[in-house]
């Protein structure tokens, strides 16, 4: 039976060949590691979720080589926006540039067989993120940004089908769950829509597992899928019926 996997924060180099080598292992030559692991573990019927920070490219024209990398993966690749995805600022340009095996899930609900996938980016949310030791994002009006992102979350979740037998998956970039995996304003919203799985990224450099990286809150199982946390290996989320 085909499966859904997740692996986020590829941070591909873009036209200017910006590498992640300075962050040490496992970032040395990390695109090659991702390609090898995905090719070994996934097939054409599998789905790979990539919730944000796909490439350092600043413009869509600078992302050509990185989108070619996505096209070399042997599966359906469902991508969504992270805080560093400046190349994806124009929705229509992204859609026109995607390789045949890729889906941009930032609008609408992607359906394949009995799985339904929606996405939104999120941001820093009071009581949820930043986690201890992480740096807050800079913005002029945090309260306004938080309200906007929670509104976007609700709109995305409203697109999920409600019928039985559907596996409902949410992709977000910023953590939707607090460091200690206690319920909060984001998980409260997610739980209302009977989401089965939520995958997220953004967090890097963790040395030890904390409750939030693999947690069940209400009806939803939450997974941190940053590729350095997973050692560049896709995480299996569930089986699905094509």
The CA-based angle 8-9-11, given to 5 degrees, is 145
Confidence of residue 212 (pLDDT cuts 50, 70, 90): very high
End-to-end CA distance of the chain: 8
Rounded distance, CA 135 to CA 139, Å?
A: 12
Mean pLDDT computed over 177-184: 96
Q: How many domains does the chain fold into?
A: 1
Of 29, 70, 28, nearest in space to 49 by CA: 70
The domain that holds 30 is classified in CATH as 3.60.21.10
Q: How many CB atoms lie within 10 A of CB 97?
A: 17
pLDDT over 90 (residue 134): no
* Among the ranges given (4-13, 130-139, 160-169, 177-186), the one the predictor scored with the smallest mean pLDDT: 130-139
| pTM reported for the whole predicted model | 0.96
Task: List Cβ neighbours of 23 (8 Å cut-off, separation of 6 or more).
Answer: 204, 205, 228
Q: Which helix (H) or strand (E) holds 103?
A: strand 102-104
- Across the range 222-241, mean pLDDT stands at 98
In 3D space, the residue among 68, 61, 57, 60 whose CA is nearest the CA of residue 102 turns out to be 68
- Of 4-8, 126-130, 182-186, the poorest mean pLDDT is in 126-130
Give the torsion sign (CA, 114, 98, 200, 187). Answer: negative
**Residues 50 and 78: beta-carbon distance below 8 Å:** yes
At residue 207, the pLDDT reads: 74
Q: What is the pLDDT of residues 107-127, one digit of tens each?
A: 899 999 999 999 999 999 999
1-54 pLDDT per residue, tens = 999 999 999 999 998 889 998 888 889 999 999 999 999 999 999 999 999 999
Least confident of 2-6, 128-132, 136-140: 136-140
Burial class (CB in 10 A: 0-12, 13-18, 19+), 204: middle
Name the residue with tokens 């070399």. 72
26 prior amide bond cis, ω within 30: yes
| Structural domain range at position 30 | 3-239
Distance from C-alpha of 63 to C-alpha of 55, rounded to nearest angstrom: 7
């Amino acid at each position: 039976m085909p499966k859904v996997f997740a692996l986020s924060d590829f941070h591909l180099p873009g036209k200017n060949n910006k590498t992640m080598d300075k962050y040490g292992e496992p970032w040395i030559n990390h695109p090659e590691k991702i390609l090898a692991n995905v090719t070994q573990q996934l097939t054409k019927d599998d789905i790979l979720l990539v919730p944000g920070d796909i490439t350092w490219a600043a413009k869509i024209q600078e992302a050509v080589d990185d989108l070619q990398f996505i096209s070399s993966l042997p599966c359906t690749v469902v991508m969504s926006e992270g805080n560093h995805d400046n190349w994806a600022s124009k929705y229509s340009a992204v859609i026109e540039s995607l390789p045949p095996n890729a889906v941009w899930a930032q609008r609408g609900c992607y359906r394949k067989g009995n799985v339904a996938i929606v996405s939104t980016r999120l941001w820093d949310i009071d009581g949820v993120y930043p986690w201890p030791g992480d740096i807050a994002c800079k913005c002029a009006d945090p309260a306004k940004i938080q309200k906007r992102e929670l509104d976007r979350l609700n709109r995305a979740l409203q697109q999920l089908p409600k019928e039985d037998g559907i596996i409902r998956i949410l992709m977000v970039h910023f953590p939707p769950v607090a460091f200690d995996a206690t319920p909060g304003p984001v998980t409260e919203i997610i739980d209302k829509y009977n989401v089965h799985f939520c995958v997220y990224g953004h967090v890097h450099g963790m040395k030890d597992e904390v409750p939030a990286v693999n947690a069940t809150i209400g009806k939803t199982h939450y997974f941190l899928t940053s590729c350095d946390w997973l050692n560049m290996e896709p995480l299996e989320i569930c089986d699905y019926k094509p």
